[in-house]
Amino acid sequence: MYLKAFSDLVLVNQLKAEDDRAAFNELYLRYWKVIYDIAAKKLQDPDLAKDVVHDLFVELWYKRHTLVIHTTFAGYLYTMLNHRFIDLQRKKAVHTRAQNELLKTHETASESVHDSFIYAELETRLMHRIEHLPPAMRQIFLLSRQEQLSPQEIAERLSLSTQTVKNQIQNALLRLKEFQMEK
């Protein structure tokens, strides 16, 4: 079947109704480069842009049966991409706040001997909390914090995408921050 002649609408309908991988591949080939170029320009990080585009098309595949497109397919992809940008900005802001809170905790704890004991207790509790993270998340978090590996190095070591590693680190920090806020 020669899919290049079909419109996006026909390919989307084939994808939805028939799980047509060839239709999905044709849509991917038509749009991945355009979406990647937009992401790379916005993010100023080619690796992150690749991960975002990859995740976008993976999400598209998983949501293929429930796709409701009120615009062109290109417009739909652009909207999905903008939602990814917003999510990344939100995660970055949360990550920055969590790091700042951890830094404040560390700085305050080192001010006095009494605070040092409190810090040691918090560190013990934090390590206990880290031990209760899901195994993959814990492994990624510890590689990041104890071995000080970059997300790219962790991704290569564990055969994961860099974005998956970043997401796992972010989720671990969020869980640890929730633990800190409970105290």
pTM exceeding 0.75: no
* CATH classification number, 110-182, choose in 3.20.20.10, 1.10.10.10, 3.40.50.300, 3.30.70.1230: 1.10.10.10
Residue among 63, 78, 72 nearest 24 (CA): 63
Q: What pLDDT, on the 0 to 100 scale, is given for residue 179?
A: 67
Topology given in CATH for the domain delimited by 3-87: Rna Polymerase Sigma Factor; Chain: A (1.10.1740)
| Whole-angstrom distance, CA of residue 7 vs CA of residue 74 | 12
Count of positions (residues) in the chain:
183
Q: What pLDDT, on the 0 to 100 scale, is given for residue 128?
A: 81
Instruction: Parse the chain into domains and list their residue ranges.
Output: 3-87, 110-182
How many Å is the Cα radius of gyration of the chain?
21
Question: Does residue 108 have a pLDDT over 70?
Answer: no
Residue 64 has which token pair? 């293929």
| Whole-angstrom distance, CA of residue 137 vs CA of residue 157 | 14
Evaluate whether 130 touches 144 at the Cβ level (below 8 Å).
no
Evaluate whether 81 touches 35 at the Cβ level (below 8 Å).
yes
Q: What pLDDT, on the 0 to 100 scale, is given for residue 178?
A: 77
Cα dihedral sign, 159-163-166-170: negative
Residue among 119, 127, 121, 130 nearest 172 (CA): 130
Which range has the worst mean pLDDT, 8-12, 60-64, 107-111, 121-125? 107-111
Q: What digits encode the pLDDT tens for the residues 49-98?
A: 999 999 999 999 999 999 889 899 999 999 999 999 998 888 888 878 87
Helices (H), 132-161: 135-145, 151-158
